Amino acid sequence: MAGELASIPALTRKDFVSNQDVRWCPGCGDYAILAQIQKVLPELGIPREKFVFVSGIGCSSRLPYYVNTYGLHTIHGRAPAIATGVKVANPDLAVWVITGDGDALSIGGNHLIHALRRNVDLKILLFNNRIYGLTKGQYSPTSEIGKKTKSTPHGSIDYPMHPISIALGAEATFTARTIDSDTGHLGKILTEAAHHKGSTFVEIYQNCVIFNDNAFQEVTDRDTRADNTITLEHGRPLIFGKDRNKGIRLKGMTPEVVTLGENGVTEQDLIVHDETLADSTYAFLLSRFEPPHFPVPLGVFRSIQRPTYEDMLTAQIKKAKEKKSSELKNLLYGSETWTVAE
Amino acid sequence: MAGELASIPALTRKDFVSNQDVRWCPGCGDYAILAQIQKVLPELGIPREKFVFVSGIGCSSRLPYYVNTYGLHTIHGRAPAIATGVKVANPDLAVWVITGDGDALSIGGNHLIHALRRNVDLKILLFNNRIYGLTKGQYSPTSEIGKKTKSTPHGSIDYPMHPISIALGAEATFTARTIDSDTGHLGKILTEAAHHKGSTFVEIYQNCVIFNDNAFQEVTDRDTRADNTITLEHGRPLIFGKDRNKGIRLKGMTPEVVTLGENGVTEQDLIVHDETLADSTYAFLLSRFEPPHFPVPLGVFRSIQRPTYEDMLTAQIKKAKEKKSSELKNLLYGSETWTVAE
Amino acid sequence: MAENPVLPVYKEIEEQSEATIRFCGDSGDGMQLTGSQFTQTTAIFGNDLATLPDYPAEIRAPAGSLAGVSGYQVHFSSHDIRTPGDAPDVLVAMNPAALKTNLGDLKEGGILIVNSDAFTANNLKKAGYATNPLEEGGMAKYRLHAFPITTLNTKALEGSPLTKKDVERCKNFFALGLMLWMYGRPMDVSLEWINKKFGAKPDLAEANKMALRGGYNFGETTDLVKKHYYIAKAKLPAGIYRNVTGNEATAFGFIAAAQLADKELVYASYPITPASDVLHELSRHRHLNVKTCQAEDEIAAAGMALGAAFTGAVGLTGTSGPGLALKSETVSLAIMMELPLVIINVQRGGPSTGLPTKTEQSDLLQAMYGRHGESPLAVIAPATPGDCFSMAIEAVRIAIQYMTPVIFLSDGYLGNSSEPWKVPDFDKIPKIHVEHYKDAASFLPFLRDPKTLSRPWAIPGTPGLEHRLGGIEKQENTGNVNYEPLNHEKMVLVRQAKIDGIAQSIPLLEVFGKEAGDILVIGWGGTYGAITSAVEMLQKRGIAISCIHLRYLNPFPSNLKKILDNFDTHIVAELNLGQLASILRGRFGVDIQSITKVQGKPFKTDELIEGIFKIARSRGEPKWQENSLASPH
Amino acid sequence: MAENPVLPVYKEIEEQSEATIRFCGDSGDGMQLTGSQFTQTTAIFGNDLATLPDYPAEIRAPAGSLAGVSGYQVHFSSHDIRTPGDAPDVLVAMNPAALKTNLGDLKEGGILIVNSDAFTANNLKKAGYATNPLEEGGMAKYRLHAFPITTLNTKALEGSPLTKKDVERCKNFFALGLMLWMYGRPMDVSLEWINKKFGAKPDLAEANKMALRGGYNFGETTDLVKKHYYIAKAKLPAGIYRNVTGNEATAFGFIAAAQLADKELVYASYPITPASDVLHELSRHRHLNVKTCQAEDEIAAAGMALGAAFTGAVGLTGTSGPGLALKSETVSLAIMMELPLVIINVQRGGPSTGLPTKTEQSDLLQAMYGRHGESPLAVIAPATPGDCFSMAIEAVRIAIQYMTPVIFLSDGYLGNSSEPWKVPDFDKIPKIHVEHYKDAASFLPFLRDPKTLSRPWAIPGTPGLEHRLGGIEKQENTGNVNYEPLNHEKMVLVRQAKIDGIAQSIPLLEVFGKEAGDILVIGWGGTYGAITSAVEMLQKRGIAISCIHLRYLNPFPSNLKKILDNFDTHIVAELNLGQLASILRGRFGVDIQSITKVQGKPFKTDELIEGIFKIARSRGEPKWQENSLASPH
Ligand SMILES: Cc1ncc(C[n+]2csc(CCOP(=O)(O)OP(=O)(O)O)c2C)c(N)n1
Ligand SMILES: Cc1ncc(C[n+]2csc(CCOP(=O)(O)OP(=O)(O)O)c2C)c(N)n1
Ligand code: SF4
Ligand code: SF4
Ligand SMILES: [Mg+2]
Ligand SMILES: [Mg+2]
């Protein structure tokens, strides 16, 4: 697409606003995410008609209706597979997948992990509100154990999934986490995701005001935010805290929270964030961080390059064409024919 | 079940042999696994009628027919879900799941990860032959990239999955790997799996003589085996090699193979295997080991205890019964009724 | 039980035999609560009734938008009724959007109560009104009462410590109070409900009570409302009653069935509208030996229920159309394994995601045929919300007696709407007989009962009966894997014969009306109320019309063919494009006419009467040409 | 092309008009190869032919076991034939298990060639023979030739450097050589094949050639075989021919269709017997713009193909029964989105895993009705292996022209069996017209073409046409989400009307035989050969019987009703319990009789003739009672 850049008239946010009324509950975190997407898209230098937004079913999955690009609002859980078909058929398109914690991890878990491991160049945004919004409040695979919901009045007995752990277990080449309420960070991560070539997995903490309000309070509350989150920056040590005096260091394989200046701990002792590690173990380690013992990491966990599925497929086609004529006749006649005369 | 132990007449291997002809190809690795299962089962002190073997579809999934216990040979990929139903309905049963790399990781990936994260007490044995046997030789999610098979004559373009990585990403409480050709190790791991309470995931390298012969040659060949595998033993350092002079040590988060005695390396420098770590990162690290750079770990990667799904459910029922009478009438009448007189 | 209240004397009272009221407003306005509270009081008062809630598909569409309108209709009377009413006599509209989407349904001359405070420029715009409709001529055909309900309510709550916003949110109780007054209903039921609900928050409780009383008193004192209405108690069969929705009755029925079979109930489901409420209801009753699992998807849910059935529990799964599609491979396995798996399908508008919150009967063909191979199973469909209870028991009875999957076809209308339900005497319901095979010497997994053709249910834990079930074709008797051609044909035929044989165990069809005549209307599922009401009205006009209602769809009751033969014209009325009609034609080779409606809504009685007339006239019956008959009203 | 060989003069030659040979042996014996080599030679020689391979479900059942028997039947003749033959004239059985499972099919008086070396005590036991059947009286009704083929082959290969085991594995070529001799066929085709196949391994090549020649020479020299046979060339239409299986022709057809539409083909599939070969074949042709993806499951495969269709490619997915069940929710989405998704279903024995390697036609109802909601789509079914090519093009043509999913119903028999196929002249096949909407000003995603009712196919990458498709009901024209009752009904009806309208674009049915008469036999799919053969035989006996073959199942060709009306008795013959019969009854209200077979096997001509007689007799037609007619042979 690079060659076309010059000819594209500059796009603006407005170009990505569709004519449909947005129908989320007032106060829903989805609004902020939509706004950031609409802000980021025009900055990418990609013609509007080359975007395709594919979603499953859920409140979050309504998003494609509101973005004025090509879009598919499909069925529950299947967006990664359908998006794979779009990308494979036309690798020139910029394909984004919008999904929820139920859509991506419950019914759609299998398609998600396979799209990731194939490294199809899809930007997968998982809106994690730790609840089923659209069906009015059942627990989801990311809901905490013991959670009381409509379908678990006695408390959930399912251990929650860690979306980034599962993505890393599935060989994802880009994993990141951000949050609806920090629009600056959200926009930044979306931009980085847009620029990654290959399967791109972004978990976005999203507040559902109706059925799971304040699920992310500990990481959004002004008072506790700084102590409960850590912003990952490539090449920088893992420092966090209101006073930026806490850090993470390793003891063998075991991470621990330390205070800078206490017991002789200095920045040199801390883990330096490296999102490019070939081995996914470090990113996996980060994906296990949870309050109260560890801060929630926000940012890019891991971003590595490897050939994408669609590029390899295209390459096979190119190579095959070089070797064999594309005459259909050769196929139809095959190797053994005989002639029946008049 | 403990209470019944005394009354069970000692079972033997024969008790677990069904009257059905075994129909795998001569030389198939499945025979060895079947034999070990039939050896281990009578040693567990569980009455035969309490075993249920549940499988999906595939060569491997034929196994339940050959074990003289209760069994379900179900449909492709769904065994973990069906087995969950068995266990939930009757937690007193010992439920084993037999599955293949296609059955468990391709069509059945989602059920697998959800059974694991729920910690349902299922013994899941994945027969990994890195190929679709029953459908005659298409590549599977564990096939190496570039592999030429019936469905990939130009070479596979899917990056393979690492079964243990995905299991750990899905919060499995027990993960292990063994191999058909090492019957001693296989029997040992099956025994450990049988004794774990909770979701139990065992990857078994299995040779398919017909469609993927010698897929595991590097770890089975007498000459290379010792250098290409490492046997995990709890509490023991990671040492391997024909001369048992190689080991694994950590440099930050990065593992490296070192030679004992060279550059001053001693056993003290090596990682000591600990299968009980609460954090799954170490086990994940091991799951990334692959020749040629690292030996293939065989043994128990991780084994931790947490309440099982079915036990928590049973506990909820017990608690609810303590609180509320089990009179159906109360439910039917509800809180607001009125009477219409004659 | 509430007694007839002493009616205030200073306003005119008009006695009516029935009325239909619809409450509508923004999703945030609490209309479902208002409606159900009115219903509860009315039920306890002693009317017969039926209700129809109507939710928007969005969780919370923007306040004031057309998409966000929520409604609740209740039809109540002094006689036996079966539908929530075709068109409301009274419409309570809390905002312009609600007025816009609902006014078309109000009867001419009907009472229209609106909250004039909500008719702001902003709200009018959101509803797409260019001008204020209350000030237009169009209102002349209704008895319009435009009250500033928000203001009146705020006044009534003066002194409440609640915030302004919370005070305003009580206005639905003000409207409820007004309607209670209008129909001479006591407030005690709602007052008590408020006490229970807001017990922990006395300020909130007090405010809602004040709002309720405020509305009631406003009716009594305002000059703007001249009269109120009286609808006498209905003569219902004696007994203890409660209101029940179809989804509740479904849940209760399966719990009861499990108890009747002396079994544990395992319900595995994945949430989906409009079936989720069955999951919610069942999840609450752990103390009744109900295990519920929210599965990762519908396939897993079916699988879990199947696993449970193998184990000897009542294995139940539930969903709506798209989920049934996903379950079909597993259901086919259950057919092959011959295990008693029960599948609830609460139908909604299709295809695909369709109209998820609306009702339809378009999954019948899928239920009958939506599986690969020759895969017959039993299909049943409850006729009314209360009937869901009885048919749930039947589902389990058939599944266990015949060792077969059973599909229980409910629909969104049945599931969500409520009716007074005479609570059955549980002790008098026949037990479901279950026999788990025990004898190892004689055991063969597929040896059939000569009468039912069903195979033994031998469950894990039984010593000596270890056996394997699978999806591959099996040898007769032994159940071993078998690929022989003639064995396969035998097994295909016996599975079919087993399902056909269920007809012996189900009640004969009863004809509503004379046993023979000109026209037979045939219905199934949730259309029972509308069809019988329409047919009854036509019967009263002397037309030789009867109807039958199929609660058993596969197999059909054994006297169906005989009944069909007794009528000249057969009309199937259903909420799809004619699915049952084509099945009946295919099965019996009889001529069938269709009345169809695919609008996400139940039939109205009127529509049915018109449809019947149209068909009858087109078939040239001279008496149907008469003027008196041609226009039913 | 091979010329007629000079036939050796010193043995008797019997001229025949046709013959059926079945090769059978252990899975490891290479019977599929032997059969297909014989077929290839016979085809090139110039006979008409049809084949039927028969694999075991196991990969490699234990050597010598009944479960491990593999067979390959070829029927060839000097005239036009359409079936692989009811019963073999010659049976070649390489071991006792093969004899046991196949002998029952051999014609009385037929030639039976067995490898006597394989009749060891051990093998006899594995096959369940108590004694050696070759030494029993039961063989008297056949012309038994028990040759020690293993020994003879080893002798023929004396001096070969191969191991004993490898030498032994050549014995199938020895058997092939013998059969080539017996039917006076040249060896050159197989010799050449061996050269190509084993080019890199000269020892192996040489050994196989020696085996082939050894068998041939053995026939020529042994006293034990007295004569050989001659079957003249068939008079086939002039042209260039090749052998093709249905699955190959399917793959070729879809590649051709994509080229005719000037599109890329995207095939997403999950392996499943008997459809996998379509995936294998398509995967080989990257150079023809074929993208194949092995998806993680059938749902994903359907999804990928749907995504590709949205993008403007030919989106194709393929599976067998259980997979079709899984795809149904996605297919329903394609119906709602109105995208041209094509679904191949190669049917196999059901329900559940059923008989995975056997053929059946029992997915018809699922294809027609196996989706929730009102979800009509086009269903077509090829009639012969070669017809798979043409119908594949039709599938794509209909899908694109009508913007609808199309189900292509093949079956295991069609897929695996082969016939000589006159290679079409690609340049003469009409192009598939595709128009991608471009004009932003007039674009509405659901504005319909008044003739076809199809909507515009606007693909991503087109500036100004950005739009969203979804599974929720849509407003007419705009395609916006819409929940209005009347709009929904309109859309349900228009989707149905669009599918019904496809009838205008499909060829009228041609009657095989007279246009009117007593009996009309109706078939569909892979039974074409057997049905037309049976009907032709009855026609020759002067019976007023005709047949029609439905290749378009939804909608039906528009002249179907008229044709039905021209006959008194209608018989549907199909490999299920009467699925098409019930659809036809439901659709046209006509009386339909059924001939069914559910044995995992295709019809035999004889079975059909018998079935037709039985029905005709039961319907009391006096002329059918005549003796001459009663026994067709
Ligand atoms: C096959 C199928 N099963 C179930 C549903 C019902 N359903 C719709 S959305 C949803 C879950 C939504 O949760 P999530 O993905 O977390 O999205 P959110 O609404 O929270 O954004 C469910 C269960 C459906 N539409 N289709
Ligand atoms: C729904 C469905 N899809 C596809 C198949 C075909 N199928 C049977 S087994 C199998 C894969 C087998 O591979 P694996 O699980 O690795 O088992 P193996 O045979 O190698 O032991 C497939 C694709 C099926 N039976 N059902
Ligand atoms: S229910 Fe929750 S997630 Fe859905 S729109 Fe409302 S606030 Fe957002
Ligand atoms: S095909 Fe492979 S996996 Fe299957 S039975 Fe044969 S050797 Fe074993
Ligand atoms: Mg969610
Ligand atoms: Mg495998």
φ/ψ region of D522 (left if φ > 0, alpha if ψ in -120 to 50, else beta) reads: beta
Do residues C203 and C120 share a domain? yes
The answer on C261 and C200 residing in a single domain is no
H or E element that contains C422 = strand C418-422
Out of C209, C231, C253, pick the residue that ends a domain: C231
Domain that holds residue C392: 242-428
- The Å distance, Cα B135 to ligand 6 centre, comes to 9
Residue C378: band (very low, low, confident or very high) from pLDDT cuts 50, 70, 90: very high
The domain limits of chain B are 2-215+307-313
CA D331, CA D471: separation in Å to the nearest integer? 11
Residue D621: predicted pLDDT: 66
In angstroms, what is the span from residue C576 Cα to ligand 1's centroid? 25
> Would you state the structure tokens that stand for residue B186, as one six-digit string?
């296989």
Between helix B109-118 and helix B79-89 the angle, nearest 10°, is 30
Q: How far, in Å, from the CA of B138 to the mean position of ligand 2?
A: 10
Tell me, using a 6 A CB cutoff, whether residue B173 lines ligand 4: no
* CA–CA separation, C530 and C417 (whole Å): 13
Paired tokens of C509: 């069809």
The partner residue sitting opposite C287, judged by closest CB among B64, B323, B339, is B323
List of residues 6+ apart from C250 with CB closer than 8 A: C278, C344, C346, C382, C388, C389, C392, C408, C410, C415
Q: Do C307 and B54 touch (CB under 8 A)?
A: yes
| Rounded Cα distance, C549 and C539, in Å | 16
Kindly report, residue by residue over B266-321, the tens digit of the pLDDT.
Answer: 999 999 999 999 999 999 999 999 999 999 999 999 999 999 999 999 999 999 99
Give per-10-residue mean pLDDT for chain A (342 aa): 53 95 92 98 97 98 98 98 98 98 98 98 98 97 97 97 98 98 97 98 97 95 94 97 95 92 94 96 97 96 98 97 89 88 78
Question: Do D115 and D41 belong together in one domain?
Answer: yes
Joined together, the tokens standing for residue A157 give 């007995």
Interface test with chain D among A53, A72, A112, by most D beta carbons within 10 Å:
A72
Q: Determine how many CB atoms are found less than 10 A away from the CB of residue B72.
A: 31
Distance CA D234, CA D352 (A): 42
Number of domains chain C contains: 3
CATH number at residue C408: 3.40.50.970
Q: Per the structure block, which two tokens stand in for C391? A: 């048919």
Q: Give residues with Cβ within 8 angstroms of C4, minimum separation 6.
A: C45, C233
Q: Based on the domain organization, do D203 and D249 belong to the same domain? A: no
Residues of chain C contacting D583 with CB distance shorter than 8 Å: 586
Q: Has residue D270 got a pLDDT over 70? A: yes
Q: Rounded to the nearest whole angstrom, what is the distance from the C-alpha of residue B22 to the centroid of ligand 4?
A: 12
Residues C289 and C333 in one domain: yes
Pair D404, D546 in one domain: no
* D321-337 vs D298-311: helix crossing angle, rounded to 10: 30
Q: Is the minimum CB–CB distance between D227 and chain B shorter than 8 Å?
A: no
Name the minimum distance, in Å, from the CA of C44 to any CA of chain B.
5
Segment C384-398, tens digit of pLDDT: 999 999 999 999 999
Two structure tokens written together for D557: 């060709």
Q: Does residue C174 share a domain with residue C109?
A: yes
Average pLDDT of chain C, as a whole number:
93
Same domain for C208 and C133, yes or no, is: yes
Say if residue D332 is in the same domain as residue D423: yes
Q: What CA–CA distance (Å, rounded) separates C379 from C335?
A: 13
* Opening angle at CA D397, ends D392 and D403, nearest 5: 120
- D460-480 pLDDT per residue, tens: 999 999 999 999 999 999 999
> Can you tell me the distance from the alpha carbon of A175 to that of A202, in angstroms, rounded to the nearest whole number?
6
Kindly report the CATH number assigned to the domain that includes residue D528.
3.40.50.920
pLDDT of residue A327: 86
Instruction: Tokens for D314, please give them.
Output: 């030919």
- Ligand 1 probe mutation, A63, A134, A207, most atoms within 8 A of CB: A134
Q: What is the pLDDT of residue C545?
A: 96
Chain B residue with minimal CA distance to C289? B317
The response to whether residue A140 sits with its C-beta less than 6 Å from ligand 1 reads: yes
- State whether residue C267 sits within 8 Å of chain B by CB: no
Please state, in angstroms and rounded to a whole number, the distance separating the CA atoms of residues D100 and C500.
37
What contacts C15, CB < 8 A, 6 or more positions away?
Answer: C229, C230, C231, C232
- B86 and C189 within 8 Å at the Cβ level: the answer is no
pLDDT at A252: 84
Interface with D, mutate which of B28, B76, B154 (most D CBs under 10 A): B76
Q: pLDDT tens, D89-130?
A: 999 999 999 999 999 999 999 999 999 999 999 999 999 999
Whether the predicted pLDDT of B123 surpasses 60: yes
DSSP H/E element including C298? helix C298-311
Tokens 């937004």, residue located: A53
Helix or strand run (H / E) with residue A219: helix A217-220
Given a cut of 60, is residue D2 above it in pLDDT? no
Q: How distant, in Å, are the alpha carbons of B24, C219, C459 from that of B20?
A: 12, 81, 20
Mean pLDDT for C7-22 is 80
Closest chain A CA to residue C354: A75
Contact B117 A165 (CB under 8 A): no
Q: What is the pLDDT of residue C622?
A: 62
Q: What totals of helices (H) and strands (E) does chain B contain, helices first?
A: 11, 12
Q: Where are the alpha helices (DSSP H) in D508-559?
A: 528-540
Percent of chain D's residues with pLDDT above 90: 82
For residues C306 and C135, the model is more confident at C306
For the stretch D144-192, pLDDT in tens is: 999 999 999 999 999 899 999 999 999 999 999 999 999 989 999 999 9
Is C438 near chain B, with CB under 8 Å?
A: no
Residues facing A259 on adjacent strands: A246
CA distance D520 to A286: 73
Tell me the pLDDT tens digit for each residue of D561-620.
Answer: 999 999 999 999 999 999 999 999 999 989 999 999 999 999 999 999 999 999 988 877
E strand or H helix at D580, and its extent?
helix D579-588
- Cα angle C387, C392, C396 (rounded to 5 degrees) comes to 150
Which of D204, D231, D258 corresponds to the end of one domain? D231
Q: Which stretch of DSSP H or E encloses residue A178?
A: strand A174-179
Rounded mean pLDDT, D211-217: 94
Across C103-107, average pLDDT: 94
Q: Of C208-217, C360-369, C597-606, D622-631, give the lowest mean pLDDT range.
A: D622-631
Ligand 2 pocket test, candidate residues D270, D276, D317, most atoms within 8 A of CB: D270
- Could you tell me which chain C residue has the CA closest to the CA of A73? C353
Q: Is residue B134 in contact with ligand 2, taking CB distance under 6 Å?
A: yes
Nearest chain B CA: its distance from D55 CA (Å): 12
Token representation of residue B97: 């799941």
DSSP B268-319: GGSPBP-TT-SSTHHHHHHHT--TTTSPEEEEEEEE-----HHHHHHHHHHH
Instruction: Decide if D394 is inside a domain.
Output: yes
Bridge pairing between strands B174-179 and C239-245: unpaired
Contact A109 C322 (CB under 8 A): no
Comparing CB atoms, the residue among B47, B89, B328 nearest residue C256 is B328
Q: Do A285 and B253 touch (CB under 8 A)?
A: yes
Which residues numbered 91-120 in B keep a CB inside 8 Å of some CB on C?
92-93, 110-111, 114
**Mind giving me the DSSP string for D265-300?**
EEEEE---TTTHHHHHHHHT-GGGTEEEEE-SSHHH
Joined tokens for residue C21: 């009221």
Spatial contact of D526 and D386, defined as CB atoms under 8 Å apart: no
The verdict on residue C487 lying in a domain is no
Taking a C-beta distance cutoff of 8 angstroms, is the pair C589, D589 a contact? Answer: yes
Please tell me the pTM assigned to this model: 0.94
- Taking the centre of ligand 5 as the mean of its atom positions, its distance from the CA of residue C69, in whole angstroms, is 24
Q: Can you tell me the distance from the alpha carbon of A238 to that of A294, in angstroms, rounded to the nearest whole number?
A: 12
Whole-Å CA distances, D620 to C119, D517, D617: 78, 16, 5
Mutate one of B88, B101, B110 to test the A interface: name it (highest A CB count within 10 A). Answer: B110
Contact partners for chain C, using 3 or more CB pairs closer than 8 A, are A, B, D
Nearest to C323 by CA among B115, A106, A337: A106
Would you mind telling me the total number of residues written for chain D in this entry?
633
Do residues D281 and D199 both lie within one domain? no
Residue C206 in tokens: 């007090």
Does the beta-carbon distance from C368 to D369 stay under 8 Å?
A: yes
Cα–Cα distance for residue pair D47/D38, rounded to 1 Å? 12
Strand partners, D269: D294, D318
Q: What pLDDT shows up at residue C140?
A: 87
Q: Which of residues 532-591 of C touch B (CB under 8 A)?
A: none
Contact B114, A109 (CB under 8 A): yes
- Name the nearest CA neighbour of A110 among B113, B142, B131: B113
**Rounded CA gap, A113 and A170, in Å?**
5
In this structure, is residue C236 part of a structural domain? no
pLDDT in tens, C496-528: 999 999 999 999 999 999 999 999 999 999 999
Residue A255 CA to residue A233 CA, distance in Å, equals: 18
In CATH, what number is assigned to the domain containing residue C23? 3.40.920.10
CATH of domain B2-215+307-313: 3.40.50.970
Reading the block at residue C383, the tokens are 């006729």
Q: pLDDT tier at C492 (50, 70, 90 boundaries)?
A: very high
Q: Is residue D51 in a domain?
A: yes
Percent of chain A that is helix, strand, coil (3-state, to 5): 35, 20, 40
- Work out the mean pLDDT of chain D and round it to a whole number: 93
Token pair of A315 as six digits:
């390459």
Q: Looking at the DSSP assignment, which residues form a beta bridge with residue D15?
A: D230
Whether residues D212 and D94 fall in one domain? yes
Element (H, E) at C562: helix C560-565
Is residue D415 located within the same domain as residue D527?
Answer: no
Asked if B160 is an interface residue toward chain A (Cβ–Cβ < 8 A), one would say yes
DSSP-derived pairing of the beta strands B337-340 and C239-245: antiparallel
With a cut of 90, say whether residue B243 has pLDDT above it. Answer: yes
Instruction: Starting from the CA of residue D28, give the closest ligand.
Output: 4
Nearest to B147 by CA among B163, B159, B164: B159
Distance CA B203, CA D22 (A): 44
